[in-house]
Structure 1
């Protein structure tokens, strides 16, 4: 399989393929000699880890071609493609369309007979996460930020999707700090006064100065949660370095991009370097990260392990994706709980250790996500009641 085809498949699943690319993908799939290559590539990079039937039916191939053709027509009619959901396409193409048909298409409400060991949805009020945050100003007052709501103060403005600080001056007096808190079911983007960009994931909190003192080290603190930093280079700030403080460690950078994950309900802090170089400092050790490396800090004993990392998996949340590569359902439940603002429970402890592979979109409903998880042979059903989900 050529690199070009690989890129088109990826763009197709992430809503970025052009009409000409869709045409090329259609032609390529129609060639029977390409089917094994496609299966292998999708299984490694996208597909859900289930006991899949081998792709070998003309109906399966025709279904995917039909989906692509419908999407092309939709692009012409609406400019923006109305994509068939990723997991549905993969399952149909791999010859497991019966799962989709029995569990979704025949039951659009999500309420399915218990005898078939499939989902039961009751009183569902769960919404997909969106752009929202709480801004705490230097005087202690709070401002709710959300889509469609515009705010402006003397130093900051927001259009409801991002927060932008005034970069026209540096702070020479005592530094004033703001906090940006992202609740469960939220995400937000902020541009600091020095031009540094920060993307904050659900259930996160960032402390930062309204303006940085000229010529001095620029410091912010990820109090908890997950954030992606694109740091303004020190060369633009008279050589001033940039530091991110967090529980048990300080990250020092000159100008780089990295992801920091430090949730309160986890005992490890993960730092993943995308570009540049960072130095991880703890009370007992110092580690230097190169691109595509990740440090894991155990906050119980301050030990650090550095190893190679799949950067795309680690920062997929920033791109609107869930990338679950050999993740346990317990780990996945934490991610879904934060994004959908729900509590996920297990009917038995054994279910927590079940492994799952998949790349899914964050704009899917929780029912769609759970229906994909049902394709394992271990989870037989789920039940939603208010904001509690039971996996069985």
Structure 2
């Protein structure tokens, strides 16, 4: 029995660290039908989290239902990362707020729980929506458009694939007579509120474009550099080419790379530009300031500043949006609500002062907005009302947050 207990604790630890394989997750959940392991789970969770948040209580979890949700979601979702599939649906979502509340959420309770006010409407999540603007001014609405070749531009075939992305197949090279002209004739891919899209550039660089974002680029890369410009947020997997550095212009900053994976967030409403490095190396330039990033570092530039600040971070916190996740790590509520605003294409209205809450948790972006808001409501002190393309945020009755 001790060996079984040890295996259970090992599997649980790996689950919490996001390092379980699917077989190990199945094995872990096979223990949940035995009452002693449900009790043991509560003891382990209590030991791990009570030290962080004194007075926290751990609620029961419907493990069978949770596992069923995980497996079902895995069948529906096409993503590369196992954990990008498992974690969005896992009901064991931890929410930590600045006042020291920790909730181990009960999936069954959350599904039965309605928002505190009378909710007459819900709002579906965003999806693959974008507009492609060609160099000649032609605009192509991609959502709903047939797959196949969309256009031919300067020898580059532009196609929409069956799995919903834009692919540039450049047959010309830098030595072609028309390629220099193509470099100055830009294409722009733009996503609306509630939209996202994936793009493969002419050099085979992969770009994931988040909601309310746009990227401009030539149909053929020529010369000594590969230059693009970004507004909003995108994740890049840059094709390696030492002879032709890849440069991204975002706000006042310029990011220089040879071949690497990184995220850039440059929404005007966020008041800053952030460059977060997943692998490789990038240099961020801002006037006379320049910083070279290592994997797991983030460069931040506040609007109007001439200084670049660096910090270490968990790269998943800023890149999991491309895998279909909201990932919050002590994130201010107003910043959380801006992400919700962009993804669900809604207006957010605060009734009274903005609550001083900081949210930590993870949940799938494929949920309707009511699921996200119910999770945040579990922290206490805050209520939401869903209207027609609008979310009202207000202090809960009897709540203790300003």
TM over 0.5: yes
Task: Measure the CA separation in 2 of the matches of 1:208 and 1:350.
Answer: 39
Q: How does 1:1-392 map to 2 (within 5 A)?
A: 5-8=12-15, 18=22, 21-27=25-31, 31=37, 32-38=39-45, 52-55=56-59, 60=60, 63-64=62-63, 66-68=64-66, 70=68, 86=89, 88-90=91-93, 97=106, 101=109, 104-105=111-112, 110=114, 118-124=116-122, 126-146=123-143, 149-152=146-149, 153-154=151-152, 155-159=157-161, 161-170=164-173, 172-174=179-181, 175=183, 176-213=185-222, 216-222=224-230, 224-235=231-242, 239-351=243-355, 353-379=356-382, 381-392=383-394
Moved more, 199-208 or 283-292: 283-292
Task: Please give the TM-score of this superposition, normalised by the length of structure 1.
Answer: 0.80
Cα offset for 1:122? 2.9
SS of equivalent to 1:337: helix
Per-residue CA deviations over 1:73-126 (Å, capped at 9, x if unaligned) read: 969xx96599997464558xx7764x963x641x6xx5x6xxxxx1322344x2
1:115 aligns with none
Residue deviations 1:170-229 (CA, integer Å, cap 9, x gap):
25331221000011100000000101011000000100010111x52111111x100101
Q: Which runs of 5+ in 1 are unaligned?
A: 113-117
Which SS does the other structure have where 1:331 is aligned?
helix
C-alpha offsets along residues 141-184 of structure 1, whole Å, 9 cap, x if unaligned? 10001156325212200136100001322253312210000111
Distance 1:136 1:69, change over 3 A: closer
SS at match of 2:259: coil
- Please give the per-residue CA displacement for 1:295-327, whole angstroms capped at 9, x wherever unaligned: 111221222101111101011101111111111
Question: Is contact 1:22-1:72 (8 Å) kept?
Answer: no
1:32-78 deviation per Cα after TM superposition (whole angstroms, max 9, x unaligned):
54544345668999xxx9974235xxxx26x32x3256459969xx9
Aligned residues: 358
> Does the Cα contact within 8 Å between 2:248 and 2:255 map onto a contact in 1?
yes
Query: 1:133·1:182 contact (CA, 8 Å) conserved in 2?
Result: yes
Change (3 A) 1:104 1:67: closer
Return the TM-score normalized by structure 2.
0.78
Give the alignment's Cα RMSD to 1 decimal: 3.4
SS state of the match for residue 363, structure 1? coil
Q: Is the 8 A contact 1:52 1:96 kept in 2?
A: no
Q: After the TM superposition, which of the residue ranges 298-307 and 165-174 deviates more from structure 2? A: 165-174
Q: Residues 121 and 72 of structure 1: is their aligned pair in 2 closer, same or farther, counting only changes over 3 Å?
A: closer
Give 3-state SS (helix, strand or coil) of 1:173's partner.
Answer: helix
Judge conservation of contact 2:124–2:367 (CA < 8 Å) in 1. no
Q: 1:364 to 1:134 in 2, by over 3 A?
A: same
CA distance in 1, matches of 2:199, 2:49: 35
